[in-house]
Structure 1
Amino acid sequence: MSTSSKVTISFSDGVERQFFALPGQNVLEAALKEDVPVLHQCRSGSCSSCLAKLVEGKADTLAGASSTLIPSEKAQGLRLLCVTEALSDCTFQLGYDSAVGTNQATEAKAFVNAIDRLADDVVRLELELAEGDWFEFRPGQFIQIKVPGTDAVRSYSMASTPADLPRIELLIRLLPGGVMSTWLLEGAKIDDVLEISGPYGQFFLKEGEKAPHIMIAGGTGLAPMMSMIDALRMRSGRKPKMLLSFGCQTQGSLFHLDAIELRQQWLPQLDVQLSVDRGPAPSGVRVGNPVEVIGASEPLDPDSVAYLCGPPGMIDAARRHLEQLGLASENIFAEQFVASQ
C-alpha cells in the first residue's frame, strides 16, 4: 500500500508550511493544492522558477521527467519541485520569503518602443506597458513574450529596473532560424503590440545585502546584472562593493560596453572585468572565460554574495570555482540561459 510523504517548505523569513505528497506526485503540485506560495512557471523542469534545496529526507526527479539542473547543483541538494518526487518525509528550503510567492504573474500588453542591434548576435528590445497595464518585479526576474504570428512563447530577463516602469528593456540573443529572432529581424516594427506576462523566477537581488556582490555573466546573461547594478545604484545609503565579470564568445559578440562604462562612472564601487573566449581581443578585454578572473588578483571575501547568469557550462564552472575559493553554496544564486529556437 502506498503512503504519502510529509513535505516541509521553509521560507527565508522563517515561515514553514507542511503538506503531504503522494507517490508519483510532483512536490509543486502537492504544494499548490494546499495554497503554499511557491514560485513556479513552466511546470516542466525547464525554467528553474521552482528551485529549492533539499535539506532533509530523500527526493529525486520523477521517472521520465527531465531537469535543467547540472550535476553539481543536484549534488548540493538543489531540486526543481515541478519534476521532483518526495521519496520520504523531507524538507525543502527556499531562497525567498513567504510573501514573494503570493505575487502572481500578470498578463499585459506592451508596445515596441525601440529595436537596436547591439552586436552580431544581440538585439536590445525596449517595450512600454500599455496604459492601464502594470506589474511589479524584482531586479533579476524575467517575463514571457508571445512571438507575434506564432504560438511560441519566449522568456527574457529584464535589463531595466522596477523604477523604469512602464518602460521595459530586454537583451535578446539572435539565433539562426529562431522564431523570435526571425520576427525581430524581419517583422518587428515600432508600436507593434506584444502579449507579455510576468514576472517570473526566484533569481533576483536580495534586499538589504551589504556584503560584496559578485556578478558573473555570459552573453545576454548580462541583462539581469544590469538591472541589479542599477537597482543597487539607486538604493539609499552605503553601496556594496561590486564586481561584474562579463564574457562573450568573440570580439564581435561583445555589447553594451558603453552602458557598462557609464555605470562605472556612476559607481566607484563597481569593478568590471571583460573577456572573450577567443581572440583577438580589444584593449581592456582579456582572452579567457569570465570565471577565471574571480579571486585572481585579491582574496575573495567569504561573506560575498554571487549572482551567475549564462549558459549551463559557465554556471557549473562558476559554482565550483566560487566554492573552492570559500564561498558558501547558499550565497550563490544562478539563472541558466538555455537557447530556444
Structure 2
Amino acid sequence: MSTPTRVLVEFSDGAESEVLVRADQSVLDAALTADVPILNQCQTGSCGSCIARLLDGKAEHRNGAAGSLIPGERAEGYRLLCLTRPDGECRFSLGYDSTAGKNRPVEAKCFVNKVDRIACNVVRLELELAEGYWMDFRPGQFIQVKVPGTEEFRSYSMATTAADLPRIELLIRILDDGAMSKWLTSMAKPDDVIEISGPYGQFFLKEKVRAPHIMIAGGTGLAPMMSMLDALRQAPGRKPRTVLSFGCQTRDALFALEQLDLRRQWMPALETRICVDRGDAADGIRIGNPVEAITSNDELSPDSVAYLCGPPGMIAAARQHLEGLGLPPESIFAEQFVASN
C-alpha cells in the first residue's frame, strides 16, 4: 500500500491544515475525511466551489475530468480540489478564512411570496423561509432550488443578505425549454412551497472591506453583487470606493436599475456603469460590454479587489482585462453562471 501524500491547505486568515491524500482520493475527499472545512457542493467539478490555487508542488486534475475552470485560471495555478490528484507534496491557498466552511449547508422549505417579470428574460422570485427553517450565508453565496414537480435542481445566487432573512430574493434568467423557466412562467404562484438547500460557494464578499471594489456583472450575475452592495452599505464605518459595471445584451434585458439608483443614493462612494451590447446610447446607458467599461482611468490600486459574475466568456475576458490593468490574480474573485436546461 502506497504512502499517502502530504498536502498543506492555507486559509486567508493564516490558518493551515495538513491533509494526507491516498492514491485513490482527491484532495477534497481527503480534506473532508479529515474534517477540514473546505467549501464544496457538487464534487464533480461543475460548480467551482472547491477552487484553490496551487502555490508549491505539482497537482493536476485526474485524467479525463472535465471541470468549470477556464484555461486562464488553470494557467494561473487554480485547481478544483474535487478533481485534483497531488503528484508529491504540495501546498494550496484558499480564498476564504477558516471559518467560512463551518456553516454547513442545510435543507429548508420556502413559500413563494412574489413572482415578477422584471425584464424580457428575467424573473425576480421572492421566497420566505417556512417557520422552523433557517440558514446563514455570506453575501455572494448561492442556494440550490428544487424545480417543483421534478427531481431537478438549479443553482441561484441570492440577491439579498442574511439580514433580510427569512426573505430570500433570486434573479432568474428565463430560458427556452428550461425546467425552472416553465414553472416560473406558467405555474408559479404565491404560497407555493419550494425546497432549497445551501448555502454553497466561495464567491462571497471578503474581509477587505476598506479596499476599492470593482464589480463586473453580466445579466443575472447582478444578483450576488446586489447582496454584496447591501452588505457593504450595512457595514459600520467608511464605505470603500466601489464601481459596479453591469451589462445585458439589449435595453429590454436590463433590470434592477431603480434599485441600483437607490443604492447610489445610499452609498456616495458607489458608481454604476450600465451597458448594453446593442442598441442606441441613452442617458446613463453605454453601448459596449461591462468589461471594457473599466479602464485605466479607474487607477486600480494594489489593494483593490474585483468580483466577477456572469457567463464564462465574460469571466475570462474580465480576468485578462483586469490583470492587464495591474490587478493581481489573487485579488480577482469570480463566479460563472452556466445555463441549465
CA deviation vs aligned residue, 1:58-107 (integer Å, no higher than 9, x gap)? 11111121101001111111111011111121111111111211210011
The 2-side partners of 1:16 and 1:296 are apart by 37
CA distance in 2, matches of 1:252, 1:292: 21
- Matched position secondary structure for 1:297: helix
Measured in 1, the distance between the counterparts of 2:216 and 2:169 equals: 20
| Alpha-carbon displacement from aligned partner over 1:19-39 (angstroms, at most 9, x marks no partner) | 221234211011111111111
The corresponding residue for 2:163 is 163
Q: Counterparts in 2 of 1:286-325, with a 5 A limit?
A: 286-325=286-325
Query: Structure 2-normalised TM-score?
Result: 0.97
| Superposed structure 1 runs of 4+ greater than 6 Å apart | none
Which 10-residue stretch deviates more, 278-287 or 61-70? 278-287
Correspondence for 1:180: 180
State the partner residue of 1:69: 69
Question: How many residues align structurally?
Answer: 341
How much has 1:296 moved relative to structure 2? 4.5
Q: Using the TM superposition, give the Cα deviation of residue 208 of structure 1 relative to its aligned residue in structure 2, in angstroms.
A: 4.9
Which residue does 2:34 correspond to in 1? 34
Mapping 1:239-278, distance limit 5 Å = 239-278=239-278
Taking the aligned partners of 1:165 and 1:281, their CA distance within structure 2 comes to 38
1:98 matched to which residue of 2? Answer: 98
8 Å CA contact 1:24, 1:62 repeated in 2: no
Q: Which SS does the other structure have where 1:318 is aligned?
A: helix
For residue 79 of structure 1, what is the aligned residue in structure 2?
79
Q: Could you tell me which amino acid in structure 2 is paired with residue 240 of structure 1?
A: P
Identity within the alignment, %: 64
- Counterpart CA distance in 2 for 1:15 and 1:296 is 35
8 Å contact kept, 1:251–1:282: no
165-174 vs 21-30, greater mean Cα deviation: 21-30
CA distance in 1 between partners of 2:288 and 2:172 (Å): 23
Whole-angstrom CA distance in 2 between matches of 1:82 and 1:281: 45
SS of equivalent residue, structure 2 residue 183: helix
Q: Paired residue for 1:9? A: 9
Residue by residue over 1:272-327, the C-alpha shift from the partner in whole angstroms, topping out at 9 and shown as x without a partner, is 10111122343321111101111243322221110000011111111111111111
* Structure 2: distance between partners of 1:301 and 1:34: 39
Q: RMSD in angstroms over aligned alpha carbons?
A: 1.2
Does structure 1 retain, via aligned residues, the 8 Å contact 2:135–2:198?
yes
Supply the distance in 2 between the matched residues of 1:9 and 1:304 (Cα, whole angstroms).
25
Native 8 Å contact 1:2 1:23 kept in 2: yes
Looking at structure 2, the residues matched to 216 and 240 of structure 1 have their Cα atoms a distance apart, in angstroms, of 16
Q: Superposed, which structure 2 residues align to 1:171-250 within 5 Å?
A: 171-250=171-250
Once the two structures are superposed, what CA deviation does each residue of 1:97-124 show, in whole Å capped at 9, x if it has no partner? 1121121001110000000001110000
